[in-house]
Amino acid sequence: MALAVLSTGTVALGQVAASGLVSIAILAVAVTKAWLIADGFMELRHAPRLWRRLVLSWAVVLAIAISFTL
């Protein structure tokens, strides 16, 4: 249910006039969705800490890299 709400939020934010703040909000929603998918569907909640941190951090690193280009 949370992924459906976040996906709808992403689409709604995409319909708003493009600005830096909206782009950051879309990136934040995307990172949240990636985190939910990794924790829930990939079952990383029960994985070793190192693997969990590595998989969860890629979305944050990617969002930071994209935000530098905005």
pLDDT exceeds cutoff 80 at 63: yes
For the chain, percent of residues with pLDDT exceeding 90? 27
- At residue 33, the pLDDT reads 93
Q: State the CB neighbour count (10 A cutoff) for residue 23.
A: 16
The whole-chain average pLDDT of the chain stands at 88
- Which pair of tokens denotes residue 9? 């939020």
- Provide mean pLDDT across the span 8-28: 86
Region for residue 47 given its phi and psi (left: phi exceeds 0; alpha: psi -120 to 50; beta: otherwise):
beta
- At residue 32, the pLDDT reads 92
Q: Report H helices in 1-70.
A: 2-15, 20-36, 49-69
Q: Which helix (H) or strand (E) holds 47?
A: none
